[in-house]
Structure 1
Amino acid sequence: MSLSENEQLVTKFGGPFINCIGMVDKYLRQVLLPRGSGKRWEGVTKAAVLLRLLDSHTMAMDGSQSPTSLLTGTPADLLPPPVISTRGCPFGGIVRVPVQDAKDLPQLIECFNRYGVRKEMNEGYVSYLLDPGNPQFQGWDSFVFVTKDGELRQIWGYQNKEADQGPEDRKPTIERALEALGNEGLLDGLEIHTVWLQGDAPTSFATPTAAAKQAARQDKTKRITSRARRCTILLSRL
């Protein structure tokens, strides 16, 4: 019997939760893709974020203590506060946006508001994982959207890089994308957070010099002024 056929699990945790468990394995299998494809580390980070969303959902559904609620420091800063709260946060599922429907963040917000919000989950906080289908999507690789009482309130965009060159060495595309959104009224009243998730490339530690340089790099947070209520770029080396 598959998980989706288990009525007891579906009743307790909901269809979106059951349907998305298998996506963790799918994302992790991206590490088998050729090096340089740009998808290897992206799959790992998506799987990690999705696991946290699912974990928080189980706590919201049955009241059990969640490892996600025990996160502190930088790991906690990488996720929306409702997700790491002791109450947990219901998960609305993965929203996949067709390539032609969204090429930037404002278009993605419009698509989400039009058909991404689950009408039956319109009380309190609900998290969603968004996977833009456009390979040329500006600035981010994936998102966590958080609604409150059915309305979008928080956007967490994730930029994933597998390299030994940090964002301090070059102007990140996420920063340019946020600056370009300064006059978009669609962003008014939203909290926008951008997280740079950098993993070590397979050759990062090929020499002692490279290893020392990587270890010396510091995480940092940078704020950008815009019309959104709060715009944050969190640059994190994992």
Structure 2
Amino acid sequence: MRERLQNLGRVKLVGAITLAAVVLAVLANLFISWLFDFQTTWFEDVFRAAVIPIFLAPLLSWYLVGMFYLLDSLEKDMSVLARIDSLTLLSNRRYFYQQTSDWLATESNRSRVYAFFILDLDFFKGINDQHGHLCGDKMLERFGVVLQEIAPSPNIVGRLGGEEFAVFLPNASQQEAENLAVRICQTMRCSVIEWDGEKVSCSVSIGVSINMNGQKSTIENAFKYADLALYEAKKSGRDCYRVYLS
């Protein structure tokens, strides 16, 4: 019903409300005249019943319809804010977990292999300290764009918080996951942003877990194994990826 009202548009919706008001007013007036045997002509009944709604209904309904469209727009905005990280435009932590958990719970995805990435921008605190948080925000935005371009749908990409990101690859083999990790590392290694006349760059470390979607599979387990792999990547000097086979 809401979609039909939205498709009508504000002018058509006000017109429809006005027409409905006129028809109802005419019918009600004719019924009352018949019930109480008022001595008026049919034309007088219709004219009197129609004139009042024609003037009043648009004035009242225009404001009410406007409020309906405003509330609908605000509801959509709130829905987006509840799901999307405002800085990077990626899924926020809550929505990322919801999407991945839904995939794991789907019966047709049982026994399928999937990959889970945890990605951490290397020495990101140094960028904030040296160039300021606005520069850090720009680097986060840039990394969000990189992930969206390299890992588009049906992959699920999210920002977990701070400089930590995650990627969920449904139906991905180990080789496919490693190829993607290599591309992300290479792209960020060569990615540079301009800030106050300086060129600022940032590499990324990636932990990858390869998982089988079994009866007891949870995104928390995939996260745990990917986190262990990320720890190994950082121990190995950063700017690289490591894989944990769960």
TM-score, length of structure 2 as denominator length: 0.30
- Structure showing the higher strand proportion among its residues: 1
Determine which structure has greater relative contact order: mean sequence separation of CA pairs < 8 Å that are 6+ residues apart, divided by chain length: 2
Q: Which has the larger radius of gyration?
A: 2
